[in-house]
């Protein structure tokens, strides 16, 4: 059954919450006589993103060795109750990426973690004020693919798709057909 676990600290009232999970190799990989050490294991790793009281995003991290801890990234200040979405992928034993999407007044933006450091991403898209963001990722062969969905203002309030493929962003469907 469900049980109460951890309190991740203070958050802005009404904040969006985004989370992602992935497998990460244990940092202390050791080889003994050319055989992989039986203590080697892939860890379940979690990241949770939410807006704190000073209008920036907070990154909370969890793994099986450390439990919960503050992430490394200090996100820029954002508009009150910004929309947040994130996704992660692995494309090899130790290559991992996290993409966090958020909105400004009329733009959707991205921060990217490449397994080593955070940087501002290439994704910049016009959006209507108050839009929500959704995203998903997967690995095709050895290349990650990402799709982002938001209201960009086409056909007034239609949902638009943006695609990240082969390391570049492009517009997908500008107005997804109605269901």
Rg (CA), the chain: 18
Provide the residue-wise pLDDT of the chain in tens; the chain has 179 residues. Answer: 777 888 888 999 999 999 998 877 544 333 333 444 444 456 688 899 999 988 889 999 998 888 899 998 778 788 889 999 999 987 555 557 899 999 988 899 999 998 888 999 999 999 999 999 999 999 888 889 999 999 998 887 899 999 999 889 999 888 887 75
Within 8 A by CB and 6+ apart from 96, the residues are 22, 24, 88, 89, 90, 113, 115
Please tell me the predicted confidence (pLDDT) of residue 174: 86
If one counts every other C-beta atom within 10 angstroms of the C-beta of residue 167, the result is 8
- Reading the block at residue 134, the tokens are 């959704």
Q: Whole-prediction pTM value?
A: 0.85
Here the tokens at position 56 are: 């920036």
């Amino acid at each position: 059954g469900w049980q109460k676990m951890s309190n991740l600290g203070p958050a802005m009232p009404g904040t969006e919450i985004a989370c992602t999970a992935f497998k990460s190799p244990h940092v202390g990989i050791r080889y003994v006589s050319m055989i992989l050490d039986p203590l080697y294991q892939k860890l379940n790793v979690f990241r949770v993103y939410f807006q704190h009281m000073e209008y920036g995003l907070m990154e909370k991290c969890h793994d099986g060795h450390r439990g919960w801890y503050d992430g490394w990234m200090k996100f820029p200040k954002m508009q009150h109750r910004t929309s947040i979405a994130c996704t992660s992928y692995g494309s090899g034993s130790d290559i991992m990426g996290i993409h966090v999407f958020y909105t400004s007044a009329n733009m959707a933006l991205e921060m990217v973690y490449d397994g080593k450091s955070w940087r501002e991403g290439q994704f910049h898209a016009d959006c209507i004020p108050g839009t929500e963001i959704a995203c998903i990722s997967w690995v095709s062969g050895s290349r990650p693919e990402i799709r982002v969905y938001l209201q960009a203002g086409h056909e007034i309030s239609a949902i638009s798709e943006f695609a990240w493929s082969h390391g570049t962003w492009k517009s997908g469907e500008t107005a997804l057909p109605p269901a």
